[in-house]
């Protein structure tokens, strides 16, 4: 039987862990850079907008089209671009995070088959509250030179 205290604590817990609904995280300009067929790694970019009054944390990303997805930041160290893996992407309440070339991005490893410009790829985001949402990314040809070096992975 539930005690008043348990009931109260359960209520508090539900109150502080709001469910993420589809509209809470808006994604814009979601794209994957088309890579040569020999490439085992490519990058994905998007603008993530948090419409919720609570922070949203993306703790992992998966896709049926890739073996593994990592979150990376790019930093300039002694004039060299270096990428560092991050455990999660935090989008603060009402804030936005841009995943962009030479900034924070998603690194996609080992495509199950070569993907070409124009294709649409599903990427599933899992959030810190355990829910997940699928977003559609469009494969595009790079319009800028890729200064990214992925040799150190
Ligand atoms: Cu990277």
CA of 94 to the centre of ligand 1 (A): 26
Q: Is the pLDDT confidence value at 140 over 70?
A: yes
Phi and psi dihedrals of 22, rounded to 5?
-55, -35
Higher-confidence position of 141 and 142: 141
Picking from 116, 41, 48, 118, the residue whose alpha carbon sits closest to that of residue 85 is: 41
The whole-number pLDDT of residue 69 equals 98
Could you tell me the domains of the chain? 4-140 (2.60.40.1890)
b/e 39-70 (16+ beta carbons within 10 angstroms → b): eebbbbbbebbbebeeebebbbbbbebbeebb
Q: How far apart are CA 18 and CA 95, in angstroms?
A: 17
CA of 97 to the centre of ligand 1 (A): 16
Find the mean pLDDT for residues 17-39: 80
Tokens of 42: 């490519």
Task: Output the CA 16–ligand 1 centroid distance in Å.
Answer: 34
Predicted confidence (pLDDT) at residue 63 exceeds the cutoff of 60: yes
Which stretches within the chain are classed as H helix? 4-16
Q: What is the mean pLDDT of residues 104-119?
A: 94
16/54 Cα distance (integer angstroms): 9
Cβ neighbors of 69 (< 8 A, separation 6 or more) are: 44, 60, 61, 62, 63, 106, 107, 108, 109, 123
Strand 25-33 relative to strand 89-91: parallel, antiparallel, unpaired? unpaired
- pLDDT, tens only, 73-101: 998 888 898 999 999 999 999 999 999 99
**Residues by chain with Cβ below 5 Å of ion ligand 1:** 72, 83, 107
What confidence score (pLDDT) does residue 77 get? Answer: 87
Distance, CA 102 to ligand 1 centroid (Å)? 9
Tell me the pLDDT band of 39, cut-offs 50, 70 and 90.
confident
């Amino acid at each position: 039987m539930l005690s008043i205290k348990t009931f109260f604590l359960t209520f508090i817990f539900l109150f502080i862990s709001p469910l993420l609904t589809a509209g809470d995280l808006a994604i814009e300009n979601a794209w994957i850079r088309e890579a040569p067929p020999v490439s085992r790694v490519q990058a994905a970019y998007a603008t993530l907008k948090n419409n919720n009054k609570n922070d949203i944390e993306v703790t992992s990303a998966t896709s049926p089209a890739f073996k593994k997805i990592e979150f990376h930041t790019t930093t300039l160290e002694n004039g060299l671009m270096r990428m560092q893996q991050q455990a999660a992407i935090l989008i603060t309440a009402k804030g936005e995070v841009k995943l962009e070339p030479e900034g924070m991005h998603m690194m996609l490893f080992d495509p199950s088959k070569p993907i070409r410009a124009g294709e649409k790829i599903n990427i599933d985001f899992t959030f810190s509250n355990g829910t997940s949402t699928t977003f559609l990314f469009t494969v595009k040809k790079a319009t800028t030179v890729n200064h990214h070096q992925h040799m150190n992975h």
